[in-house]
Structure 1
Amino acid sequence: MSTQPTFVIVGGGLAGAKLAEALRDKDFAGTVILLSQEEHLPYDRPPLSKEHLAGKKSLDGFTVLTRQWYRDHHIDLRLGTEVTAIDRSAKTVSLPDGSTISYDKLALATGSRSRRPPIPGSDADGVHYLRTVDESDALVDVLARGGRLAIVGAGWIGLEIAANAREKGVDVTIVEAAELPLLAALGSEMGAVFADLHREHGVDFRFGAKVEAITVSDGTATGLRLGDGTTIDADAVLVAVGAAPNIEIADAAGLATDSGVLVDASLTTSDPDIVAVGDIAEQDHPVLHHRIRVEHWANALNQPAVAAATMLSKSATYEKLPYFYTDQYDLGMEYVGHATDYAQVVVRGDTAKREFVAFWLGANNTVKAGMNVNIWDVTDAVKALVASGRPVDPELLANPEVGLDSVYA
């Protein structure tokens, strides 16, 4: 009988695949079992609303690792396999058929799912969400047919799909409860930049609006009815109102949870034999000095190396700052940091030309986050400002003639 330990990874997205890879890279010789609810090999998700939707990249182009890699590295990959429960005392996970798998260490990489608000008519044909490659394929077909698309939600997914749709000549109407797009993520100053961008490309925004129902005829969505009684005719409807972390099995197992699964700097949960990575991990961040959970590709890519070290009882902390990016029409953007609570936004450059860097400052003039728009090779400098925790001079920060390493107060 083998005395090698068994490490089980629950979740077959980017984080799960990278964790399996990291364990082998760190010379773990034991059994690795990767359980994925989807039937596809683990893949990246950003292309679903970007290159794949635009027809520029096929699934093979954003599959994380080949099937042969899993064979060569002796990873027991089980696709189409859902985990229904965790028994922490027995150190097992349960499958729908009643069988169990024992583990010595467990990693949770269960990701998130599309939020599905209880809108009447949301079960009709022609109502779309975006979280999987199959859902992206369905939207590719929608955009290829042209016509009219109604989008509920002006977040990142809604805006990226709107941009792809407009570039294919599809009429787009976006309904958003807030007064601007991306208000929670970027605030009003930068939300206005994205509103102007999409209006210039023909998107019809309905801000401050509530969706009363998805209108339906013969079982197929025909548009939206708003709270004020107005209707929006459409050939398809996309509901893009955010994501919900898949933490139910962690919560039922008695792990500490809040908006996600609580983890420390090493990504260890309240159970020392269980780590959590990716969308579900709500980390006590050692650089930001507060808990944070972000649903961004960079965490799924980078956290697994730290989690693998932790599972192998090696000292490791996850210190990378939150990072995400978007491409919409002629606007390319990178965002570093985290700024839900800030005192002011300082802009260096020209927002009208969409060539600028924006900085979110705290009450003490420390840089909490930065976003470069169509200006490149500054990301590392922005990261340094955020990580330093040092106050800056807002006037120097706004001056493009002053280097970003010379803006401290």
Structure 2
Amino acid sequence: MQPIVIIGSGMAGYTVAREFRKLNAEQELIMITADDASNYAKPTLSNALAGKKSPEQIALGDAEKMSTQLNMRIETHTWVKEIRSEQHQLVLEKDGESSTLDYAKLILAVGANPIRLAIAGDGSDDIHVVNSLNDYKAFRENLDKRQDKRVVILGAGLIGCEFANDLQNTGYHATVIDLAAQPLGRLLPAHIASAFQENLEETGIHFVLGTTVEKVSKVENGDYLVTLANGQSVIADIVLSAIGLQPNISLAKTGNIHTSRGILTNSHLETNQANIYAVGDCAEVNGTLLPYVMPIMQQARALAKTLNGEHTAVHYPAMPVAVKTPAAPLTVLPAPIDVDVNWETEEFDDGMLAKAFDSTGTLRGFVLLGATAAKQRLTLTKLVPDLIPVSV
């Protein structure tokens, strides 16, 4: 029998392998990755400074350790150039040499790539992104060299705010720039976003909103002049871009696999091609992209059963997202984007609680800001209906 092949060594790929091994210890399993296959949790990158973790301490295991632990062959620094869906075959490239690999089932766990703005200036190529441990190592190495500790962050979304909080808490000076009028624009109603922003500003984080970066220029002492569309400019030691991710769909297209924003799958994580599945940040499941930890766990458990012969649909219970901003403790359960909601807010001395109700009075989402509100997380989560019901 041909092997089950997983492309990608991120959280999604490793979690599928781990869950599958709980059910089946013998089936041949191969992981293919373009990097070194270090196993780590990407969410730890945005609070590693406050956690006093060096980049070398973040990885939980290298390829050799993970291969032994999961009884899985891991091919590192190997690129999949093409998926031959009809032949159930991959075209690989390693060290400049091409080869082919047959598979019984294929899992695409290829993640998402950072969105890059077209920014002018001779400093634009020096803008950091942090989408992997290797990216983070480069960022920290550069960060450690700088004296003045001024970091400009492009993007006031979840990752941008987490990095700003982490940097500001450890002696750096963070300026966050975003075209939106508020931080976490896609997750928070305006009145909660305003309170969240104020809490972060009290730590010294500076927000410049409603504008975008036009140019990043090198100036003396290795600094950067960041020129904004509103005419303002900011001097930075380092510029970090955190404006979002785009699912990696280019490889799927080589196999005539249907894509939209992500790789399209049904509730069983099946693509339109036989025995090919997608999981994690690259997967658009029943039209929904959920680039968070809990959905990956749910997908991996369901897919492991399917791979082992028990056809299983992914089940999404209500899954709140904890934002790692200790200066403004925040938990968000976003309401479905296709549902009209009304917000009801309760204020506390240390924050607020906002509930999103649909037209039937059903709770569809909530936002908890501060320690008092956070105590209601479990109670409220139980009241929210599943996002995607179990189906067969």
TM-score range, shorter chain: 0.7 to 0.9
1:69 shift after superposition: 4.4
Residue 305 (str. 1) matches residue 301 (str. 2): yes
1:171 shift after superposition: 2.1
SS at match of 1:382: helix
Amino acid at match of 1:299: P
In the alignment, the residues of structure 2 paired with residue 232 and residue 293 of structure 1 have an alpha-carbon distance, to the nearest angstrom, of 34
Match of residue 390 from structure 2? none
1:283 shift after superposition: 1.2
1:337 shift after superposition: 4.7
In the alignment, the residues of structure 2 paired with residue 155 and residue 333 of structure 1 have an alpha-carbon distance, to the nearest angstrom, of 13
Match of residue 118 from structure 1? 118
Whether the 8 Å contact between 2:119 and 2:214 is mirrored in structure 1 is yes
Whether the 8 Å contact between 1:277 and 1:299 is mirrored in structure 2 is no
1:169 shift after superposition: 2.5
1:262 shift after superposition: 1.4
Match of residue 140 from structure 1? 140
Residue 369 (str. 1) matches residue 365 (str. 2): yes
Compared with structure 1, are the counterparts of its residues 325 and 367 closer, same or farther at alpha carbon in structure 2 (3 Å cutoff)?
same
Residue 215 (str. 1) matches residue 217 (str. 2): yes
2:343 to 335, 342, 345: 345
In the alignment, the residues of structure 1 paired with residue 298 and residue 223 of structure 2 have an alpha-carbon distance, to the nearest angstrom, of 40
- Which structure 2 residue ranges, 5 or more long, are not aligned? 388-392
Runs of 4+ residues over 6 Å off in structure 1: none
Whether the 8 Å contact between 2:159 and 2:242 is mirrored in structure 1 is yes
Whether the 8 Å contact between 1:52 and 1:59 is mirrored in structure 2 is no
1:76 shift after superposition: 0.5
Match of residue 177 from structure 2? 175
1:154 to 139, 142, 156: 156
In the alignment, the residues of structure 1 paired with residue 354 and residue 59 of structure 2 have an alpha-carbon distance, to the nearest angstrom, of 30
In the alignment, the residues of structure 2 paired with residue 49 and residue 240 of structure 1 have an alpha-carbon distance, to the nearest angstrom, of 11
Amino acid at match of 1:25: K
Compared with structure 1, are the counterparts of its residues 222 and 123 closer, same or farther at alpha carbon in structure 2 (3 Å cutoff)?
closer
Match of residue 74 from structure 1? 71
SS at match of 1:183: coil
Whether the 8 Å contact between 1:336 and 1:382 is mirrored in structure 2 is no
Whether the 8 Å contact between 2:36 and 2:63 is mirrored in structure 1 is no
In the alignment, the residues of structure 2 paired with residue 176 and residue 213 of structure 1 have an alpha-carbon distance, to the nearest angstrom, of 14
Match of residue 190 from structure 1? 192
1:237 shift after superposition: 0.8
In the alignment, the residues of structure 2 paired with residue 81 and residue 204 of structure 1 have an alpha-carbon distance, to the nearest angstrom, of 42
Whether the 8 Å contact between 1:153 and 1:174 is mirrored in structure 2 is yes
Q: In percent, how many aligned pairs have the same letter?
A: 23
In the alignment, the residues of structure 2 paired with residue 343 and residue 262 of structure 1 have an alpha-carbon distance, to the nearest angstrom, of 27
Amino acid at match of 1:111: G
In the alignment, the residues of structure 1 paired with residue 218 and residue 298 of structure 2 have an alpha-carbon distance, to the nearest angstrom, of 43
- Which structure 1 residue ranges, 5 or more long, are not aligned? 285-290, 390-409
Compared with structure 1, are the counterparts of its residues 32 and 218 closer, same or farther at alpha carbon in structure 2 (3 Å cutoff)?
farther
Match of residue 104 from structure 1? 104
1:142 shift after superposition: 4.8
Amino acid at match of 1:206: V
Normalised TM-score (structure 2): 0.88
Compared with structure 1, are the counterparts of its residues 159 and 227 closer, same or farther at alpha carbon in structure 2 (3 Å cutoff)?
same
Provide Cα deviations, 1:110-165, integer angstroms capped at 9, x if missing partner: 01121111111376564211111122233334554443111111111111111112
In the alignment, the residues of structure 2 paired with residue 9 and residue 64 of structure 1 have an alpha-carbon distance, to the nearest angstrom, of 18
Q: Which moved more, 1:202-211 or 1:241-250?
A: 202-211
Across the aligned residues of Structure 1 and Structure 2, the Cα RMSD in angstroms comes to 2.5
Compared with structure 1, are the counterparts of its residues 348 and 104 closer, same or farther at alpha carbon in structure 2 (3 Å cutoff)?
same
Amino acid at match of 1:304: A
In the alignment, the residues of structure 2 paired with residue 267 and residue 282 of structure 1 have an alpha-carbon distance, to the nearest angstrom, of 9
Residue 292 (str. 1) matches residue 288 (str. 2): yes
Compared with structure 1, are the counterparts of its residues 7 and 122 closer, same or farther at alpha carbon in structure 2 (3 Å cutoff)?
farther
In the alignment, the residues of structure 2 paired with residue 30 and residue 128 of structure 1 have an alpha-carbon distance, to the nearest angstrom, of 40
Compared with structure 1, are the counterparts of its residues 385 and 60 closer, same or farther at alpha carbon in structure 2 (3 Å cutoff)?
same
In the alignment, the residues of structure 2 paired with residue 230 and residue 254 of structure 1 have an alpha-carbon distance, to the nearest angstrom, of 46
Match of residue 38 from structure 2? 41
Residue-pair matches, total? 378
Provide Cα deviations, 1:80-102, integer angstroms capped at 9, x if missing partner: 22212111011111113321111
Compared with structure 1, are the counterparts of its residues 388 and 205 closer, same or farther at alpha carbon in structure 2 (3 Å cutoff)?
closer
SS at match of 1:302: helix
